[in-house]
Amino acid sequence: MTASKNFDAPIDRRATSSQKWERYRDSNVLPMWVADTDFMAPPAVIEALHQRIDHGVFGYTNTPEELTRLVIERMQRLYGWQIEADWLVWLPGLVCGLNLACRSVGNSGSAVLSPKPIYPPFMSSPLLSERSLVSVPMKLVEQRWLLDLDALEQSITADTRLLLFCNPQNPGGTLYRREELERLAEIVQRHDLQVCSDEIHCDLILEPGLEHIPLASLNPEIAARTITLMAPSKTFNIAGLGCSFAIIADKQLRKRFKDVRKGIVPDVNLLGYTAAIAAYRDGDDWNQKQLSYLRRNRDYLVEEINKIPGLSLQPIEATYLAWIDVSAAKLENPAHFFEQAGVGMSPGRDFGNDQFMRLNFGCPFEMVQEAISRIRQAMLKQLPA
């Protein structure tokens, strides 16, 4: 079986309590919203899980030394970033990492800067942590969604303590270049801020020739101010197993982060660790095949969406998420409109802009084609006679 056929194969996720598919279980709506893919996990991951389950004992589990070693080696190999074992803090999810970061920096009432539009927990985490949220706009620069660094600097006050950053950007799909990261780091250092950098999509680079650069890898100064969040979950479709990690170089910042989580955030479960080891040890070749497949989906999607009157889509450098501009269509309720058309996307309002929709194209190509067909038919009916 070819790599393409592996990803083409439809996996029936109905009756599996899938969050993605349960939303539309009694309708003919294609679920293309929440960010997990419809691809089967790598064979190496599935085999490792079978072996662990066959062992038959599922007690309390320490972080495996092999996984720590794999992450350290991975950071060095991919990014030339030398990290230490004690910098790693393992978490059962990335969202709790965002919340812990907000509670680890500053005090009640401190200001947290966050991009907008952005993945919804960036907006909820500061408020849940008794911090004030200050949104900084993203702007379109040469077809790339970038954080407006001038607006960022103008938003900083004496109360500002933390910046939430996302790279690759969700929902815009931008991968930040070194010079862009260096300018951001300079602002952070000059204003004595800390950063929580969500880099969970770092292994999903679609544009050939581009590379992910962790913000904290730039220099020791910015590393000392940064909480980096990563996970194998998006890349290898193992989000349901709950295994993520923070990389925190600064000892005091790491201590605050770990202190805040005590008694509240549980440890990673043993199957999450098992899957992460297999993914990082044996999954990279599989991911290269996945990236080739996703590029095909992306190229088709960008071309076809931009042919449909009322819709537009900028190039997508990374992630399997498309941020579709529907503003020209003048839709009163875009999410409802597209659900009625048979395509369930994430409403842009959840990300801070109700004139966009986010579509997950991490699925068989045939499903992307069907989604485009439904969207096109619905939009053509919107045109004036």
Q: How far apart are CA 23 and CA 30, in angstroms?
A: 10
Tens-digit pLDDT profile for residues 208-217: 999 999 999 9
**298-314 residue pLDDT tens:** 999 999 999 999 999 99
Q: What is the pLDDT of residue 385?
A: 57
pTM for the full predicted model: 0.97
pLDDT above 60 for 3: no
Task: For residues 78 and 211, give the distance between their C-alpha atoms in angstroms, rounded to a whole number.
Answer: 9
The pLDDT assigned to 4 comes to 58
Ordered domains of the chain (ranges, CATH): 3-43+284-380 (3.90.1150.10), 58-282 (3.40.640.10)
Q: Is a pLDDT exceeding 50 seen at residue 339?
A: yes
Whether the per-residue pLDDT at 224 is higher than 70: the answer is yes
Per-residue confidence at 2, pLDDT binned at 50, 70, 90?
very low
Per-residue pLDDT at 1 exceeds 50: no
- Residue 168 and residue 317: Cα distance in Å, rounded? 8
Tell me what the mean pLDDT of segment 80-99 comes to: 98
pLDDT (mean) for 169-182 = 98
Q: According to DSSP H, which parts of 191-320 are helical?
A: 220-223, 233-236, 251-261, 270-282, 284-305
Average pLDDT of 261-290?
98
360 to 24, 70, 93, 189, 202: CA distances (angstroms): 15, 29, 20, 35, 17
For residue 384, the model assigns a pLDDT of 72
The mean predicted confidence, pLDDT, of the chain is 97
Q: Once rounded to an integer, what is the mean pLDDT over residues 150-163?
A: 98
Kindly report the number of other CB atoms within 10 A of residue 181's CB atom.
20
Q: What is the mean pLDDT of residues 343-367?
A: 98
Per the listing, tokens 């910098």 go with 87
Q: Residue 115: is it exposed, middle or buried by C-beta count within 10 angstroms (0-12/13-18/19+)?
A: buried
Taking Cα atoms as reference points, which of 251, 290, 262 lies closest to residue 39?
290
Question: What is the pLDDT averaged over residues 201-227?
Answer: 98
